[in-house]
Amino acid sequence: MAVSRKIAAATSSRRSSASREFADHWELSDLVTDPVKQFDRYLKDLSSKVSRFESARAELSATMSEQAFLNLLTLSEQLARDSGRLGAYAYLWFSEDTKQLQARSFKTKVEEHLTALQNHLLFFDLWWQSVDQRNAERLMANSGDFRYHLETIRRFKPHTLSEPEEKIINIKNITGQSAVHQLYDVVTNGFTFTMRIGGKKKTMNREALTAYLRSPKAAVREAAYREMYRVYESQQDLLGEIYKTLANDWKAENLQLRHFKTPLESRNLSNDIPDRAVDALLSVCMKNAPIFQRYFKLKARLCKIKIMNRYHIYAPHRAEQKTYRYADAVRMVLDAYYGFSPRLAELAQRVFADRHIDARTKPGKMGGAYCYSVTPNLTPYVMLNFTGEARDIATMAHELGHAVHAMMAEQHNVFTFHSTLPLAETASVFGERILSDALMATETNRSVKQSLLVNQLDDIYATVMRQAYFVAFERTAHDMVAQGATTTDLAHTYMTLLRQQFGKSLRVPQEFQWEWLTIPHLYASPFYCYAYSFGNLLVLALYRMYQEQGSGFVPKYLELLAAGGSKAPQAILAEVGVDMNSPAFWQSGFDAISGMVDQLEQTMN
């Protein structure tokens, strides 16, 4: 919705009294104070709490009192809060500069010690899974906000191993899965790329190179993609082996030890999303690939691209050739949030006021962007790589959406304030839609409107269709790795899926067979990516409700955010009239996308 002058003025006044400038580098001391020097003290305090928790082991009984049970849950939450702060510090510090040896060493040290302590707590989950249903219901009935956390533990009962086996897996993951993934981060974040810009050779990191992938000049876009895949292809043996190792590790733990039927089923259970809902989502995504094939043909006409190919799908519209100052970008996002809900704008502002954002790109810094919600009542941390592009503003709106989601749910405990993965994208993507809608509603220039629609459709493609095809690749790749596939085999499969996805709408140059090597989520979190498709299509449906209901929708939306992860996703969405198992629901999201493509075509006539 449009931001009125009255709202904008109120926003400006409110902000000027809170802060004269917007933070762009975070302050980590809010997490823990001087943890490197004080590490032994922090570890001693955590160990003391763990010992207290362990001492209650002899008292565990299916018939124990509700109060004794609740006291133990409260202590476990305090442990999770304290260890969460220390772990967050280590990860955030590492994110600032992945090449800094001290930060890398401290992260490894923290992970090792926290895993060792976590192993001392395993007995509780295993005992809780063994409690008979009648007593479990009795204890959960009086557990308050811990209930869904307790239900989640019991949900994993069929796939939980013995206590010694679970301890071995936790230890193994530090020197195995986690270490291998960190190797991927260290290697790829150290890549440098060289391009000739303005007649001069320029060396840069991936974040800087990414800006050229969206250059107004076709030759620059093509050169940037060629350079990116040249570097990744040169390391295909190493990166391919890392991927296969992680896929085999996933198979060994989840299929062979935990007896999940498919690699994807493990992710679905952790998300508490029914298999049939995910199958419906992915099936509808594949069915609707022609919508984006049509869009790319329109974009070729609009951007005067004679031969459309994969180099050019993110080509900027001719009206989009400017950069933005950081402070202006912040104001644009906060104004848009304020136009929808002053409460959300105030929460987003808190991230800057508390200096919990690291915005600038720099050598060695982890690529991409994320929001880290550590504990309730602690303002989340946001990492960006802001370069001044228009898309960086959308990324800011996205990550601040994650932050306000966590802050809206801060009345819950540390186990239930985080939403499960697919719903975790709701507020972030909704934040992008708020920003786009605010800009679109105040714009009268046809060319700028086209640019806004192109930006939206580019982002929706990247976060719906592209992510669904990543998961389609993973489903095939994990089976192929289990059968001994080579890195080249995987690349050929990826290429086949790309050509299926784009059809005859554009050409796909051969070097794109290596694109999967560049996607961190495929390494760090197998099958994570459908959460983006889920979240984006969900938001398109919710946003349609907002457009139909106006301000009356806002309280229901805020209640959805405030639920956090305190209930099953299916139950949370049912309260706003969403059936996630229905293909018709997911199709309604694509109908909205098709309508945007229609709108773009109308501006071209």
Residue with tokens 């809780």: 128
Average pLDDT, the chain: 91
What tokens appear for 3 in the block?
């931001």
Q: Does residue 66 surpass a pLDDT of 60? A: yes
Region for 577 from its dihedrals, namely left if φ exceeds 0, alpha if ψ lies in -120 to 50, beta otherwise: left
| Interatomic CA distance for residues 58 and 72, integer angstroms | 12
Is 232 or 437 the better-scoring residue by pLDDT? Answer: 232
| Interatomic CA distance for residues 467 and 346, integer angstroms | 31
The tally of CA atoms less than 13 A away on the side-chain side of residue 265 is: 13
| Interatomic CA distance for residues 404 and 426, integer angstroms | 11
pLDDT tens string 509-535 = 999 999 999 999 999 999 999 988 998
Q: In what order do the strands lie in the sheet with 357-360?
A: 357-360, 381-386, 370-372
Q: How many CB atoms lie within 10 A of CB 148?
A: 22
pLDDT tens string 268-281 = 999 999 999 999 99
Classify the C-alpha dihedral 499-504-510-512 as positive or negative: negative
pLDDT tens string 124-138 = 999 999 999 999 999
| Interatomic CA distance for residues 86 and 440, integer angstroms | 43
What tokens appear for 557 in the block?
């939306």
**Average pLDDT of the segment spanning 101-112:** 95
| Interatomic CA distance for residues 516 and 141, integer angstroms | 46
- The residue among 436, 597, 465, 433 whose CA lies nearest residue 533 is 465
| Interatomic CA distance for residues 432 and 535, integer angstroms | 12
Asked if residues 433 and 243 have their Cβ atoms less than 8 Å apart, the reply is: no
With cut-offs at 50, 70 and 90, classify the pLDDT of residue 445: confident
- The residue among 353, 334, 446, 390 whose CA lies nearest residue 3 is 334
Q: Does residue 322 surpass a pLDDT of 80? A: no
| Interatomic CA distance for residues 486 and 597, integer angstroms | 39
The reported pLDDT for the residue numbered 320 is 55
| Interatomic CA distance for residues 282 and 583, integer angstroms | 10
Q: How many CB atoms lie within 10 A of CB 198?
A: 5
- The residue among 237, 109, 108, 110 whose CA lies nearest residue 178 is 108
pLDDT tens string 244-291 = 999 999 999 999 999 999 999 999 999 999 999 999 999 999 999 999
- The residue among 70, 71, 80 whose CA lies nearest residue 50 is 80
With cut-offs at 50, 70 and 90, classify the pLDDT of residue 317: confident
**What count of residues does the chain have?**
605
